[in-house]
């Protein structure tokens, strides 16, 4: 593609921000409809139990109450939400029904939907519904005799494996250094600024359902909803509105995505549901909770020979649309950007009476990086090798690309790296961080605090296929309208796509009339925004459409059909990569961890907009820091979620992490797409937990503290230090 205008590469201010900053964004809550009714979801107050009755008589007598719908009103068979990714036959057994029938399996599971003239009346009615639930013992870990589903033994829904070479043979033949360690990542979630929301509108005359509030994957969700409603796909439209963040959790098919349109059709009136913060923390996909036991075999010089291990991922009470994706990612990318000839990994999907899990920015990758990078620092220390040198010796070299990763056996997934120089970003990060200068303070006490530094390397798999579509149209005033199957979830999609379209059409940026995205009425097919795919897949589809439109103009001149479509297909994932370094100071008396400096360097192949990329990376790092140090979804022994407000679920603020620097490179373009771009929406979060944990371990090496379980909150650090002091005291006595 020629760079006539060279908008690609320019740090253009986000075009969508003007409407947000002037209050002209349109969220689901902004849509006005005559006769609009409001829905509230009655959710199970217990984690595990048999439903004996749902008595609604008292609630139905309240003024303004329009309807209360339960499983009995849905039909002879309550629909179950299918998996969107990694479908396996055995997982059908634990798919989630759109509303509880016979049994509840987590606190927050929908039991009824109440529709009233306003949300307050619906809330009042919910409090008048009498739920008769026979409480069963809750399952809060993968261990126990109580079963969530009769046909799923041991509450293990499935087990996946990933292999490269022959790890067992390599370990059997190895007589040198090995190390085995267990790590835990805690449960937390994507807390979007704006909770989920839906507005459903039924046109009885046309037998057509319109659902506003779609995001991420509208086209797959339309297929599910149409089937559940008994309609053809043409009878359902999912419309994408502005949203306050997504981060992987928003936009998957949830029970409410059926219940709200079902209610609208049943009542013949538009119905809106808006999630409050408690519901957001209770009902939107949770993420991250996993534990892993890893064993590594190394030569005396630190060269890695083999890696094997077993992981358990807590997927909650049901497998949701992408519930198997994070576990699969754990084992498929656990080796990271390192040369490991022999790999043997497994992950079990454990069912518990907790909110079902799904994807959250860097799903499975963030967990895998924490496990691996934490292990690497332990190994380097025991071998007496500098942690930087240990990584450098094992990084995949530029000449080794494409490098085949471990193969996931079932469902079978093959992947390999694309291009890059992993030592280049490591060296740049060391220089920008001033590693040599800061090393003098590592493990030392200054101003009463223990200081530590650490560095880690990572890559980010992006650009999921199989394809994406776009359509370009020249309007009568000469402007160009761009229609794409990708979705906008806050990542600056409209700006980036306008830059790509302007360059592809060789027109001024101001001549791009608008970028219209996501909604199912714009194109015949779309795939959405997930797995850092939008720029690569959607941007390349825009180029294909622009090329088709330019050719049409060249051949036919200014004909009446000034529009063309384009498709970009690819089964090759992209791999952006980089290194992060952190300097922390730990107060041993309180357990508080202060972030002194944080530096990130990444190579993303080709940068379309440096400003939006910087914002994406910076925001992802802060999310990673929040997850590593603060955020935690905590349950009690009865399956009650204790962190259902932002007073209990701690989130980072602008004051918490002021010293973060991000450097983006584009030295090694991707060879498989016309932009040369690599997905970069998730890389910022992936290495954070491992880097922070290793920096804390380095700071507290005098205590021999091993932070192998997250989060590293002040109480946990305080406890680790006290336990370490007790061990040292016993050893010296």
User: Considering only CA atoms, which of 336, 354, 424, 433 is closest in space to residue 690?
Assistant: 336
pLDDT value for 1: 45
Q: 420-451+573-733: what fold?
A: Aldehyde Oxidoreductase; domain 4 (3.30.365)
CB count, 10 Å around CB of 119?
Answer: 17
* Strand ranges in 380-466 using DSSP code E only, listed in sequence order: 407-409, 412-413, 445-446, 449-462
Query: Residue 252: which of 301, 343, 189, 310 has the closest Cα?
Result: 189
**Alpha-carbon gap, residue 730 to 733, rounded angstroms:** 5
Q: What is the topology classification, in CATH, of domain 31-136+192-283?
A: Aldehyde Oxidoreductase; domain 3 (3.90.1170)
Q: CB–CB of 408/159 below 8 Å?
A: no
| 486 vs 63: CA distance, rounded Å | 44
The answer to whether the peptide bond before residue 454 is cis (omega within 30 degrees of 0) is: no
Cβ distance 537 to 486 under 8 Å? yes
Q: What sign for the dihedral angle of Cα 607, 608, 611, 613?
A: negative
**Which tokens belong to 313?**
């991922």
Residue 670, burial from CB neighbour count under 10 angstroms (0-12, 13-18, 19+): buried
Instruction: Quote the pLDDT of residue 3.
Output: 52
CB–CB of 578/429 below 8 Å?
A: yes
How far apart, in whole angstroms, are the C-alpha atoms of residue 419 and residue 439? Answer: 31
First to last CA, the chain: 73
Confirm whether 17-26+464-569 and 31-136+192-283 share one CATH topology: no
pLDDT, averaged across the chain: 96
Backbone phi, psi, residue 496, to 5°: -60, -45
How far is Cα 261 from Cα 212, in angstroms, rounded to an integer? 10
Cα–chain center distance at 475? 37
pLDDT below 50 — which residues of the chain? 1
Whether the CB-CB separation of 353 and 637 falls below 8 Å is answered with: no
In the block, residue with structure tokens 């908008």: 7
Give the integer Cα–Cα distance in Å for 128 and 134: 19
Burial 244-258, CB ≥16 within 10 A → b, else e = ebbbbbbbbbbbbbb
C-alpha distances (whole Å) from 189 to each of 6, 285, 298, 522 are 38, 7, 35, 31
Q: Which residues of 216-242 are buried (b: 16+ CB within 10 A; e: fewer)?
A: bbbbbbbbbbbebbebeeebbbbbbbb
Residue whose tokens read 């199970």: 44
Is residue 340 within 8 A of residue 112, CB to CB? The reply is no
Close Cβ partners of 348 (under 8 Å, ≥ 6 residues apart): 142, 156, 158, 159, 310, 311, 312, 313, 327
Q: What does the block give as tokens for 362? A: 């860097």
Beta strands in 283-390, from DSSP E residues, in sequence order: 290-298, 304-316, 342-351
Report helix, strand or coil for 536: helix
CB 479 within 8 A of CB 1: no
Q: Which fold has domain 17-26+464-569?
A: Aldehyde Oxidoreductase; domain 4 (3.30.365)
**Distance from C-alpha of 442 to C-alpha of 449, rounded to nearest angstrom:** 11
Report residue 329 CA to chain centroid gap.
Answer: 11
Structure letter (DSSP) for residue 713: -
| Res 729: pLDDT | 85
- 68 CB contacts (<8 Å, ≥6 apart)? 56, 59, 60, 112, 113, 114, 115, 125, 129
The domain locations on the chain are: 17-26+464-569, 31-136+192-283, 138-189+285-413, 420-451+573-733
Contacts of 377 (CB under 8 A, 6+ apart): 387, 454, 694, 697, 698
Euclidean distance between CA atoms 148 and 129, whole angstroms = 26
Q: What is the pLDDT of residues 682-714, one digit of tens each?
A: 999 999 999 999 999 999 999 999 999 999 999
CA distance 407 to 85: 17
Per-residue pLDDT tens over the stretch 90-112: 999 999 999 999 999 999 999 99
- Listed residue (706, 361, 315, 337) closest to 532, CA to CA: 361
Q: How far apart are CA 544 and CA 536, in angstroms?
A: 12
Please tell me the distance from the alpha carbon of residue 443 to that of residue 698, in angstroms, as a whole number: 6
The DSSP secondary structure of 230-256, one letter per residue, reads: T--GGGEEEEE---S--TTTTTS--HH
Spatial neighbors of 263 by CB under 8 A, at least 6 apart, are 37, 39, 67, 69, 113, 115, 200, 271
Residue by residue, DSSP assigns 491-512 as S-HHHHHHHHHHHHHT--GGGE
Element (H, E) at 58: helix 57-60
pLDDT at res. 459: 97
* Other residues' Cβ atoms within 10 Å of the Cβ of residue 64: 14
Q: What are phi and psi of 248, to 5 degrees?
A: 95, -25
With beta carbons less than 8 A apart as the criterion, state whether 315 and 286 touch.
no
**Burial profile 594-610: b = 16 or more Cβ within 10 angstroms, e = fewer:** ebbbbbbbbbbbbbbbe
- Structure token digits, residue 25: 């964004």
CA atoms within 13 A on the CB side of 636: 8
Residues 409 and 581 sit within 8 Å (Cβ to Cβ):
no
pLDDT the model gives residue 53:
97
Q: E strands, 194-319, where?
A: 197-203, 208-214, 236-240, 271-274, 290-298, 304-316
What is the Cα–Cα distance from 522 to 502, expressed in whole angstroms?
20
Residue with tokens 């008595």: 55
Question: Does the structural domain 138-189+285-413 have CATH classification 3.30.1300.10?
Answer: no
């Amino acid at each position: 593609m020629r760079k006539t205008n060279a908008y690609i590469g320019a740090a253009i201010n986000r075009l969508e921000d003007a409407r947000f900053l002037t209050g002209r964004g349109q969220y689901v809550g902004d849509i006005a409809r005559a006769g609009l009714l409001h829905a509230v979801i009655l959710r199970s107050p217990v984690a595990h139990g048999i439903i004996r009755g749902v008595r609604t008589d008292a609630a139905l007598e309240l003024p303004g109450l329009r309807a209360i719908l339960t499983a009995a009103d849905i039909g002879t068979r309550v629909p179950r939400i299918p998996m969107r990714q990694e479908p396996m036959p055995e997982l059908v057994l634990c798919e989630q029904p759109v509303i509880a029938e016979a049994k509840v399996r987590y606190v927050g599971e929908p039991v009824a939907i109440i529709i009233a003239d306003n949300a307050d009346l619906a809330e009042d009615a919910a409090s008048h519904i009498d739920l008769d639930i026979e409480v069963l013992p809750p399952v809060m870990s993968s261990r126990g005799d109580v079963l969530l589903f009769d046909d799923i033994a041991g509450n293990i829904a499935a087990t996946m494996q990933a292999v490269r070479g022959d790890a067992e043979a390599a370990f059997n033949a190895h007589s040198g250094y090995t190390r085995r360690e267990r790590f835990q990542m805690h449960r937390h979630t994507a807390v979007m600024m704006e909770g989920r929301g839906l507005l459903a509108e039924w046109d009885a005359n046309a037998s057509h359902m319109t659902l506003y509030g779609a995001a991420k994957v509208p086209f797959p969700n339309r297929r599910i909803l149409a089937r559940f409603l008994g309609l053809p796909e043409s009878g359902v439209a999912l419309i994408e509105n502005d949203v306050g963040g997504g981060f992987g959790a928003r936009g998957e098919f949830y029970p409410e995505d059926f219940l709200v349109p079902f209610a609208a059709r049943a009542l013949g009136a538009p119905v809106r549901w808006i999630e409050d913060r408690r519901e957001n923390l209770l009902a939107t996909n949770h993420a991250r909770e996993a534990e892993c036991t890893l064993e590594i075999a190394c030569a005396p010089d630190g060269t890695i020979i083999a890696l094997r291990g077993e992981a358990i991922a807590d997927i909650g009470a049901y497998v949701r649309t992408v519930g198997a994706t994070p576990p699969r990612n754990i084992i498929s990318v656990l080796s990271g950007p390192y040369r490991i000839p022999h790999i043997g990994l497994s992950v079990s999907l454990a069912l518990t009476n907790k909110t079902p899990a799904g994807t959250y920015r860097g799903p499975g990758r963030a967990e895998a990086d924490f496990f691996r990078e934490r292990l690497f620092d332990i190994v380097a220390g025991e071998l007496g090798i500098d942690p930087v040198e240990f990584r450098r010796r094992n990084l995949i070299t530029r000449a080794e690309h494409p490098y085949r990763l471990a193969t996931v056996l079932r469902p079978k997934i093959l992947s390999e790296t694309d291009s890059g120089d992993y030592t280049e970003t490591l060296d740049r990060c060391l220089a920008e961080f001033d590693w040599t200068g800061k090393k003098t303070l590592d493990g030392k006490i200054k101003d009463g605090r223990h200081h530590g530094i650490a560095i880690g390397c990572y890559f980010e798999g992006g650009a999921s296929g199989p394809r994406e579509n776009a359509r370009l149209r020249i309007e009568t005033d000469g402007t160009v309208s761009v229609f794409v199957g990708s979705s906008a979830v806050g990542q600056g999609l409209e700006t980036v796509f306008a830059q790509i379209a302007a360059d592809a059409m060789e027109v001024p940026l101001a001549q791009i009339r608008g970028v219209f995205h996501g909604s199912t009425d714009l194109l015949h097919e779309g795939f959405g925004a997930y797995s850092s795919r939008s720029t690569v897949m959607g941007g390349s589809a825009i180029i294909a459409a622009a090329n088709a439109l330019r050719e049409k103009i060249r051949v036919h001149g200014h004909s009446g059909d000034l529009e063309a479509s384009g498709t970009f297909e690819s089964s090759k994932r992209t791999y952006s990569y980089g290194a992060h370094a952190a300097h922390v100071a730990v107060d041993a008396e309180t357990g508080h961890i202060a972030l002194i400096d944080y530096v990130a360097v990444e190579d993303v192949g080709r940068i379309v907009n440096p400003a939006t990329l910087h914002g994406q990376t910076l925001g992802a790092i802060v999310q990673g820091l929040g997850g590593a140090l603060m955020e935690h979804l905590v349950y009690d022994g009865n399956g009650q979620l204790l962190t259902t407000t932002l007073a209990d679920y701690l989130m980072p603020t602008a004051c918490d992490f002021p010293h973060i620097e991000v450097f983006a490179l584009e030295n090694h373009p991707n060879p498989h797409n016309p932009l040369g771009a690599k997905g970069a929406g998730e890389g910022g979060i992936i290495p954070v937990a491992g880097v922070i944990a290793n920096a804390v371990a380095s700071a507290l090496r005098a205590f021999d503290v091993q932070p192998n379980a997250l989060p590293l909150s002040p109480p946990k650090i305080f406890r680790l230090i006290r336990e370490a002091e007790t061990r040292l005291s016993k050893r010296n006595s």
